[in-house]
Amino acid sequence: MRFHLSEEQGAIQDAIRGTLADSLPSEKLHKLIDGEAEFDRESWDALMALGLGGLMLPEQYGGSDLGLLDAALSAEVGGEGAVSGPLIGQIATGLAIAESDDDDAKSAWLPKLATGDAVATLAFGRDWLPESWDVSAVGNRVSGSVRFVQAATMADVYLVGLAGGKLALVEAGEHVEVQPLESFDRTRRQSTVIFNSAPATLLSADSGRIFDVALILAAADALGGAQKALDMTVAYAKEREQFGQPIGQFQALKHQIAQMALEVEPARALVWYAAYAFDKGLDDARRAAAIANAHLSDRFVSIGRAAVAAHGGIGYTWEYDLSIWFRRSIYSRAYLGGPAVHRERAAQLANW
């Protein structure tokens, strides 16, 4: 029986944390949110050099053959560092190809996704859930329009959700039109992508499983973001003085921050369990993914708001870092479907 991280897992998280601190420090994040770039290529490349693209891919294609738990731990640190670039899409697309029986697609894409030489993103569409997907396929050509595609202008390949809940791989090219949207989360830019009879590789992977992977990675990202907002608040409460003492010494604020910790720390094990259940193929895996995603979406927004409130004026400014995670929290809550959607799914999965 073991339900805590191994030393190695902790070391991997520390390595990612260090890499992000070096390659995506606060100044660069601000440059990114104030600029026009789709995402920060240098930090993305640094993460790919650590092997994040190939975490769940087979060794024969350059991956590390690890489970979703390890991927989730990485996504968590990504959320903590406001990772820019479609990390969830990169991992989920790789797994979708790896779980399909198409050796050509595997040889063509997996080595490049593992190294980061190719960037992959999700183009699920409609209301996010596989049953709502509506890009149509005629033979090996797909047509339709998908909103909220992250990093679409930089992507080499899209994992597209087709009507009927199937998945297809579409390479960027002349049959793919990208129309940028303004993104509330400026660390994760997005576009509407229009597929005009674009050549596609149909994948046999179970789209429900791939969607669960995305949900769990998104929950882990939210956990990391919530932890970051909490850490910033604790640090500020220790250092900021009013009425002649650190504000964290006032019981009113101390209690608010304790409530924040109560939202974050217990949720960690919820994310671990969802990933563990997926890796072990447990019966409650799908429900665990839905509940973890809904719970973490709510926690992140709640922490984001509480963190701004605890900071006071400085928290409401653009230039203070908290604005980045607050915006990420709002974005994350809607991404892949809001908490109410996944709670209703969980209710259905319980046959309520």
Partner 1 sequence: MDLSYGEENESYRKDVREFLKVAWNPASVEKPAMKAYIAGFREKATGKGYLYRAIPREFGGSQQPVDVLKAQVIREEFARARAPMEVGGNGMNMVVPTLLERGTQEQKEQFIRKTMSGEYIWGQGYSEPGSGSDLASVRTKAVLDGDKWVINGQKIWTSQGMDATHMFMLARTEADAPKHAGITYLLLSLDHPGVTRQPIKQITGGATFCEFFFEDVTTPVAWQIGDRGDGWNVSKTTLKHERASIGSADMLGHQFAQLVKLAKETQRNGQPAIKDPLVRDALVRIEGWVLAHRYSSYRLFSHAAAGDPPPSVGLMMKLLLTEIGHDIALTAEDMIGDEAMLEPAPPGTRGRGPEKWLDQIMGSLGNSIAGGTTNIQRNIIGERGLGLPRDPAMGA
* Binding segment (CB under 8 A) for partner 1, from list 88-96, 139-147, 294-302, 306-314: 294-302
Among the residue ranges 10-18, 58-66, 168-176, 255-263, the one whose residues contact partner 1 (CB under 8 A): 255-263
Residues facing 141 on adjacent strands: 138, 199
Name which of 108 and 261 has its Cβ closer to partner 1: 261
Which among 13-21, 52-60, 119-127, 233-241 is the span making contact with partner 1, rule CB under 8 A? 233-241
When asked if residue 242 is in the footprint of partner 1 (CB under 8 A), the reply is no
Structural contact between residues 269 and 3, judged by C-beta atoms closer than 8 angstroms:
yes
Contact between 243 and partner 1 (CB under 8 A)? no
Instruction: Name residues whose C-beta falls within 8 Å of residue 41's C-beta, 6 or more positions apart in sequence.
Output: 85, 154
Candidate residues 17, 126, 147, 343; the one interacting with partner 1 per rule CB under 8 A: 343
Amino acid at 270: L
Is 245 a binder of partner 1 (CB under 8 A)?
A: yes
Q: How far is the CB of 41 from partner 1 (least distance, A)?
A: 34
Neighbours of 288 (CB within 10 A): 25
262 belongs to the binding site for partner 1 (CB under 8 A): yes
Distance, CA of 156 to CA of 22 (rounded, Å): 26
> Which residues ranging from 269 to 288 are in contact with partner 1 (CB under 8 A)?
269-270, 272-273, 276, 288
Give dist(CA 124, CA 129) in Å, integer: 8
SS3 for 10-52 is HHHHHHHHHHHHHHCCHHHHHHHHHCCCCCCHHHHHHHHHCCH
Contacts of partner 1 in 4-63 (CB under 8 A)? 4
CB-based burial label for 170 (10 Å; 0-12, 13-18, 19+): buried
Residues that bind partner 1 (CB under 8 A): 1-4, 69, 234, 237-238, 245-246, 248-249, 251, 254-255, 257-259, 261-262, 265-270, 272-273, 276, 288, 291-292, 294-295, 298, 340, 343-344, 346-347, 352
